[in-house]
Structure 1
Amino acid sequence: MKKTVLIVLLAGIGSFVFLQKLRAQSNYKKTVDGVNATVNGVHIELEVYDAGTIRVIKYPEGAHFKKNSLAVIKSPDGNIPKKVFKRGNLVILETSALKTTLDRSTGKVSFSKLNNDLLFSERDNGAVFSPDKNADANSYDVKQSFTLDSNEVIYGLGEQQNGRLNQRGQDNLLVQGNGKVSIPFFQSVKGYGIYWDNYSPTRFIDNKAGTSFDSQVGNGIDYYFMKGANGDSVVAQMRFLTGQAPLLPLWVYGYNQSKERYKTQFELLDVVKKYRALHVPLDGIIQDWQYWGTDSNWNAMSFDSIRFPRPKKMIDSVHQLHAHIFIVAWPGFGPKTKQYSEFKKKSMLLNFDTWPPNSGTKVYDVYDPIARDIYWRYLNKGVFSLGSDAWWLDSSEPDHLNEKDSDFNQHTYLGTYRSVRNAFPLEHIKGVYAHQRQTTSKKRVVILTRSAFAGQQRFASNTWSGDVTSSWESFRNQIPAGLNFSLTGLPYWNTDIGGFFANDYVKGGGAKNPAFQELYTRWLQFGTFMPMMRSHGTAIPREIYQFGKKGDRIYDVLEKYIKLRYSLLPYIYSTAWQVTNHSGSFMRALAMDFIKDRNVYNIGGEYMFGKSFLVSPVTEKGAKEQQVYLPVGASWYDFWTGELQKGGQYIHRATPIEIMPLYVRAGSIIPWGPEVQYATEKKWDNLELRIYPGADADFTLYEDENDNYDYEKGLYSEIKFHWNDKAHELTIGKKNGHFPGMLEARKFKIVLVKQDHGSGSNLTMNVDKLVNYNGEKVLIKL
């Protein structure tokens, strides 16, 4: 009898389990945007944004999930062709580019190519929702675990000062800080990217147990998978989701001078005058902090009447000298400012200590749109209305002194500070960009800032790497930091040339200290090939004349590279157009262009600048030579000599202080600009055009009015060049487009580069052919 009951009971249990499985298998549905399902008490949504971009949302069954992303500006596209079908216990969502598979027994989501090659996968039962022990109602600590191939290489996570290009094997708390930009995004050499859309402090862990994002606050798991063929297409997918980068004015791609700090308007103007007298190019001068007076008046957005008695006259004088001025502004306000009083009255201040110490300064609630309106009202009245050209938005992490965990529980307009912590720079920079665009379209917005988050590229943001130290180790770390930042999808990045904290070199003579001169010179050579070339620091002034005079070796090298930057402006500005119009990148890890060459995957000390230049900064003190890797897939010209080297080899390049190893990819066309004192001094009516033979080449020369938003209305021109290497023919295409003041006729000086011909930073004396161009197609045989 007992045996019979047991059999019936087991049969009943088996039927129950079977029914549960059937119920689980049937508990999904196709939606306009993709697929919804519930697995083991977790609601899962798959949304199609384009054929290669899928959003994954997970949250506990019965919970509420609604989110307006701060970073992502796209919506799912229900019109994308897709198929949904079952295969056993799997639900497959297929587009023309990607298969997304949901396992209905474990909730695992995986992504494959159409031929079923696996790209990326979650771990089984990898979603974890833990009770949020903080002040956020209806929220969780959210974690998702993934599986990467054992030898897979990944890049990104923002700007990390760990000296590594490959971000495998990390345990990294992603939270904003001075010198650390935290963006929960990575991309793989397998050709995909992952953006984890969460703004709270997030731990990224990669070890033998798996890879995971774990955020302190979230209503659910929310991430985007982006399939791309290479690094460029993954960056393009990220820009598709989070916005394109507007074009900056031509002048900002020149040389910009700063220090901590110019104490009077007369000191600032004297710097610009000295550059002009020395005939050293300069386009930007930067006014750092305390132009407002005392710390209790911190960030008053008005000029101290004693040290800056006529600020509009100062700005006008800078313009008369054909230069432009950045003015600093902070998110914090001293207790004696009008802004502090207004924000406090309206409960728009965050109550924690910020810079400067012991001043009572508080930051405003950047997440509140009304607070951002107020911020701009003061900034416009006190600064922008005087004619300033660009912003230095400092401390945009922001600085957080005497940090207490309870500081993060206070509420902002969008929820607890903890829940939106990492998006502080995004919201702050957004406010200034949006308001300036509303105020005028005659000046392009330029924002230099110390922190960033996903999507910030759409607000004309140029992030610098923070207050790093003046050391060789710090210098070395900046290169992979900038490359990973760029691989995250944000194209504009720079550093304080020479490092910010230079105190260790003061006793040895400051700018006359040979040890600092070497470090600064090598750093400036690197700076010549950043998206923004900017000298800045404390303790030691960095103006070129501080290092000597013309004829002195260090002075001459610094001048040489500043002038090289200006020769490259047609190339740089055209590259900037590719960034804006085709989701391109300035600083390019070698894997972006040479993905088939595994030797480049972990090289963090070299990079491509645009598509043509291979840059290898000298980052070892006293180096007399440097090992340089030339990737497979191209031949390489030594920029300084014109000597041709084959790819796929390590070479040793002599590195006297005048030389930073620099190579140009065979199959490149480089327009060479005129010698100028500022970016717009001369029109590009007589450009030298350097052709590096050995492969076919293409280049598009871009021009517009240099500083307004008419290019968004189609007022610009492009001239396309094509080099047919086999036929030794250069085609200059028909001019495309028009804008007011454009050149109708011009000359091109064609130079076919070879050893000791068309090499180095000076214009070529004996060109190979002079071509008159009136906008019509021209074919030149060389």
Structure 2
Amino acid sequence: MKHPFLIFLLFLCGGFSAVAQPSGNPLVFGENRLTLITPTLFRLEFAHDGKFIDDPTYFAYDRGSLLPASEFRVRELGGNRYEISTSALRIVYEHDGFPFGLHNFAAYYKLNGKEKKFTNRCIFRNNLGGPVETLDRVTGEIPMQDGLLSRDGWYVIDDERSDLLVDGWLCPRDTKSHVQDQYCFVYGNDYKAALADLGAISGRVPMTRKYIHGVWYCRYWDYTSEEFLSIIDGYEENDFPLDNLVFDMGWHTYDAKIGTGHAGSRSWTGYTWERKRIPDPGALIAEVHRRGVTVSLNDHPHDGIRPHEEMYAAFMADMGADPAHPLLFDLGDRKYMETFFKHAHHATEDMGADFWWLDWQQNYLYPEVRGYRSTSLQWINELYYRQTERKGLRGAGYSRWAGWGDHRHPIQFSGDAQANWALLAFEVKLTSASGNAGCYYWAHDIGGFRGDPNPELTVRWTQFGALSAALRVHSTKDARLDRRPWISGERETAAMRRMYHMRSELMPYIYSSVWQTHSTMVPLNRPMYIDYGSDERAYENEQEFLFGDILLAAPIASPGEGADKTASQKVWFPAGDVWYDYFTHERFDGGQECRIAKPLEEFPLYVRGGWVLPMQPYTPRPASTPLTTLVLRVYPSAGDADNTYTLYEDDGLSRDYERGIHATTELNYRRAGDVTTVTVRPAAGSYRGQEPRRAYRLQLPAAGEFRRVKVNGRTVKPVFDGQLGCPVVEVPSTDIRKEVKIEIFG
């Protein structure tokens, strides 16, 4: 070699690459690895020993998502510098032997039509908010955690210290060598892409059991078997629907003599039925099921299985432990947890208990899983959710929010909220923003858990609850507080009955929207800016949200005035659509903002014109009654339109949907001139228990005058629904595999 020193200088100056141009995905640059997951999501790693991590974590649960090589380009710039381009961004990286950072890495993306520079320094501004872990003892607005969505168009999740999941259990990671593990969401203005990216790396939110989205009764009270059944009777006698009955702590004994305890008592944890109140729990659960209602049991597991429990001896024998020395609850011990579930849960589940309310409030006792970095709430939510899948059913979580990745364990319990107006207003805002982090389904304490009785507040809270993931009432052990909706006064009862009936009637739309959330990761309750982020007004009113694609709501969260308890709320109607009041059918053109006043019986709720809203006739069991009549509510579009909404159906319980076993039915609205056509296309797909035929009821509020109506080419005469105040077209029971076309000639 004639000029070794010159060659050495060229190497130092970048004349030669220290690493070959990487190919494939992930891209490895010595100790650095860059993984392109989607066009708008990438992972940055640095490991001193070049050993990278491919095992999943609680957050990064899905390692199978990788951007195909055909969808990105790598270009060597010289001097160990590279440009990596996707359809949405351009990354410039200089390999210098250091972790990805300000000096060697940048990404360029578009925001509001301008190119912006992203670095991974994690200086967060302009975040649009996310969930909170709990509302326990909260009395008003509190700071929210971050969500993915930011007006800066990016967010970074640092996963470098989280435990790995190996063979279904926690495993500590090497944090001495593997010192960087960041997930960079760089989405610009595309908020829906950011949420889809969360599903790509963390797993999509699973389908819930359908009854989770029904009507619940829950109260911290020591009910007897007879009293539980009388509650179901009361709902029936007073014309209110019910799907789920929750047994709070009183289902088990309060006999514990040892334990860490909580809030001054050792009786929170328990697994032995209190047979003085419930002498035959299996018979009680069977009777509740016979009446079409499911059963959930409260569980505070922090004290484990103690000597007073019926199953203690068998549990200790399976553990190979000395009964004279009780074991502490140990989330990090696989044998302990498997044995715990076997003895604490399985017998009760075999009696028929449908799912557990994991009422974990003990982070102050067990902040982290012993031997690991994972929080106790994260890991216990994962374990409980897995257990509910053991009989082939969908998982059913019902616990507080544990952070990134916990969207895989729906539904979330928001905690023991205070009953006041400020907290109701915050819940509305919180529920919408929570979807920004994947916390899509809150089960709130409708009416508030503790506080002074306030029937007006309870009505307004119920109106909000009717447009959330679950209409679930709850209250503390206070004789003044019982959220059964018929005991608050005649007018309040009538107002709440209207909301409960609406919830029942909307179940086909709600469940179809749940499928949409599963498929797209777009929230059920979602802030206006997810769909209308280019309009500044979409960010201004945090009390307004979309509920699915077709409904817009702005619940009232302030006391009213006068005999009608009239209160108002500001509502912005997005441009490009026309909106109709769900209760009065009044039309509002998009592009305006109005102050809407409503009496106690109503709240601002609007239907997007030009779409088919799928509903069902009222039923006392909204989540389980077969859909033998599909109600189609249609408000007219402002002009010519062609829009299709998809009705989703499955068996509501099994995991068959994961294998494509479900049905969809396209509901098309088309307006051309003075002719409006509503088409129910043939159902596609099938599932266990599917109804082969159904009738249709087309409701036409605000339709105006029309000359005639045809159903499949034959002229029919609509009937007038006096209660709804509009014409209705009835179509007799029809094979779901046949198309139904209804034409309205103006």
> TM-score per shorter chain, which class?
0.7 to 0.9
User: 1:227-376 maps to which residues of 2 (within 5 A)?
Assistant: 227-228=186-187, 230-294=190-254, 295-296=256-257, 298-333=268-303, 335-336=306-307, 364-376=329-341
Is the aligned partner of 1:719 residue 2:665?
A: yes
Is the aligned partner of 1:464 residue 2:422?
A: no
* Length, aligned pairs only: 672
Is the Cα–Cα contact under 8 Å of residues 107 and 119 in structure 2 kept in the other structure? no
Residues 313-366 of structure 1, C-alpha deviations (whole Å, 9 max, x = no match) = 1111211222111111223116545689999999999xxxxxxxxxx9997333
**1:732 counterpart letter in structure 2:** V
User: 1:125-524 maps to which residues of 2 (within 5 A)?
Assistant: 126=121, 145-146=122-123, 153-159=126-132, 185-189=147-151, 192-197=154-159, 220-228=179-187, 230-294=190-254, 295-296=256-257, 298-333=268-303, 335-336=306-307, 364-395=329-360, 398-400=362-364, 412-413=370-371, 415=372, 419-421=373-375, 424-438=376-390, 440-441=391-392, 443-459=393-409, 461-502=410-451, 505=452, 510=453, 516-524=454-462
Distance 2:251 2:625 in 1: 34
Give the secondary structure class of the aligned counterpart of 1:663.
strand
In the TM superposition, residue 70 of structure 1 has moved relative to its aligned partner by: 2.0
How does the TM-score come out when normalised to structure 1? 0.77
In the TM superposition, residue 761 of structure 1 has moved relative to its aligned partner by: 12
Q: 1:101 aligns with which of 71, 74, 92?
A: 92
In the TM superposition, residue 386 of structure 1 has moved relative to its aligned partner by: 0.9
Give the secondary structure class of the aligned counterpart of 2:644.
strand
In the TM superposition, residue 731 of structure 1 has moved relative to its aligned partner by: 2.3
User: Which residue does the alignment assign to 1:84?
Assistant: 74
Residues 593-642 of structure 1, C-alpha deviations (whole Å, 9 max, x = no match) = 11221111243111000011111011112263222222233221111111
Is the Cα–Cα contact under 8 Å of residues 496 and 537 in structure 1 kept in the other structure? yes
Is the Cα–Cα contact under 8 Å of residues 666 and 693 in structure 1 kept in the other structure? yes
C-alpha distance 764-368 of structure 1, shift in aligned 2 (>3 A): farther
Distance 1:182 1:282 in 2: 32
Residues 430-489 of structure 1, C-alpha deviations (whole Å, 9 max, x = no match) = 222223323x12x44322112233223333x21122122111111111122112211212
User: Which residue does the alignment assign to 2:99?
Assistant: none
Is the aligned partner of 1:30 residue 2:22?
A: yes
Is the Cα–Cα contact under 8 Å of residues 367 and 428 in structure 1 kept in the other structure? no
User: Which residue does the alignment assign to 1:132?
Assistant: none
Identity %: 22
User: 1:690-729 maps to which residues of 2 (within 5 A)?
Assistant: 690-694=633-637, 695-726=641-672, 727-729=675-677
Is the Cα–Cα contact under 8 Å of residues 51 and 80 in structure 1 kept in the other structure? no
Distance 1:621 1:218 in 2: 58
Distance 1:558 1:529 in 2: 13
In the TM superposition, residue 267 of structure 1 has moved relative to its aligned partner by: 2.5
Distance 1:466 1:701 in 2: 32
Distance 1:771 1:542 in 2: 39
Is the Cα–Cα contact under 8 Å of residues 641 and 755 in structure 1 kept in the other structure? no
Q: 1:585 aligns with which of 519, 523, 530?
A: 523
In the TM superposition, residue 590 of structure 1 has moved relative to its aligned partner by: 0.3
C-alpha distance 107-537 of structure 1, shift in aligned 2 (>3 A): farther
After TM superposition, the structure 1 stretch with the greater mean CA deviation from structure 2, 262-271 or 666-675, is 262-271
**1:412 counterpart letter in structure 2:** R
Distance 2:156 2:732 in 1: 48
Can you give the 5+ residue segments of structure 2 that lack an aligned partner in the other structure? Answer: 1-5, 97-101, 164-174, 258-266, 561-565, 706-718
User: Which residue does the alignment assign to 1:632?
Assistant: 575
Give the secondary structure class of the aligned counterpart of 1:652.
strand
Is the aligned partner of 1:558 residue 2:496?
A: yes
Residues 543-569 of structure 1, C-alpha deviations (whole Å, 9 max, x = no match) = 123313xxx101111111011100101
User: 1:527-676 maps to which residues of 2 (within 5 A)?
Assistant: 527-538=465-476, 539=478, 540-548=481-489, 552-622=490-560, 624-676=567-619
**2:91 counterpart letter in structure 1:** T
Is the aligned partner of 1:46 residue 2:16?
A: no
Distance 1:362 1:597 in 2: 58
In the TM superposition, residue 286 of structure 1 has moved relative to its aligned partner by: 0.6
Distance 2:383 2:142 in 1: 22
Is the Cα–Cα contact under 8 Å of residues 498 and 536 in structure 1 kept in the other structure? yes
C-alpha distance 464-386 of structure 1, shift in aligned 2 (>3 A): same
C-alpha distance 681-298 of structure 1, shift in aligned 2 (>3 A): closer
C-alpha distance 465-740 of structure 1, shift in aligned 2 (>3 A): closer
User: Which residue does the alignment assign to 1:165?
Assistant: none
Is the Cα–Cα contact under 8 Å of residues 333 and 361 in structure 1 kept in the other structure? no
C-alpha distance 562-119 of structure 1, shift in aligned 2 (>3 A): farther
Give the secondary structure class of the aligned counterpart of 1:384.
helix
**1:777 counterpart letter in structure 2:** E
Distance 1:363 1:482 in 2: 36
Give the secondary structure class of the aligned counterpart of 2:205.
coil
C-alpha distance 454-337 of structure 1, shift in aligned 2 (>3 A): farther
Give the secondary structure class of the aligned counterpart of 1:728.
strand
C-alpha distance 724-567 of structure 1, shift in aligned 2 (>3 A): same
Is the Cα–Cα contact under 8 Å of residues 331 and 369 in structure 2 kept in the other structure? no
Distance 1:195 1:533 in 2: 32
C-alpha distance 559-17 of structure 1, shift in aligned 2 (>3 A): farther
Is the aligned partner of 1:111 residue 2:73?
A: no
Distance 2:235 2:60 in 1: 43
C-alpha distance 160-258 of structure 1, shift in aligned 2 (>3 A): closer
Residues 411-435 of structure 1, C-alpha deviations (whole Å, 9 max, x = no match) = 724x2xxx222xx333212222223
Distance 2:286 2:722 in 1: 33
C-alpha distance 311-771 of structure 1, shift in aligned 2 (>3 A): closer
C-alpha distance 161-678 of structure 1, shift in aligned 2 (>3 A): closer
Give the secondary structure class of the aligned counterpart of 1:383.
helix
In the TM superposition, residue 739 of structure 1 has moved relative to its aligned partner by: 2.7
User: Which residue does the alignment assign to 2:170?
Assistant: none
C-alpha distance 477-732 of structure 1, shift in aligned 2 (>3 A): same
**2:184 counterpart letter in structure 1:** F
Residues 256-278 of structure 1, C-alpha deviations (whole Å, 9 max, x = no match) = 01111234333222211211222
User: Which residue does the alignment assign to 1:70?
Assistant: 58
How does the TM-score come out when normalised to structure 2? 0.81
Distance 2:649 2:244 in 1: 21
Runs of 4+ with >6 A deviation: 14-19, 178-184, 339-349, 360-363, 755-761
C-alpha distance 657-193 of structure 1, shift in aligned 2 (>3 A): same
Is the Cα–Cα contact under 8 Å of residues 133 and 402 in structure 2 kept in the other structure? no
In the TM superposition, residue 387 of structure 1 has moved relative to its aligned partner by: 0.2
User: Which residue does the alignment assign to 1:122?
Assistant: 119
Give the secondary structure class of the aligned counterpart of 1:270.
helix
Is the Cα–Cα contact under 8 Å of residues 211 and 624 in structure 2 kept in the other structure? no
**1:479 counterpart letter in structure 2:** V
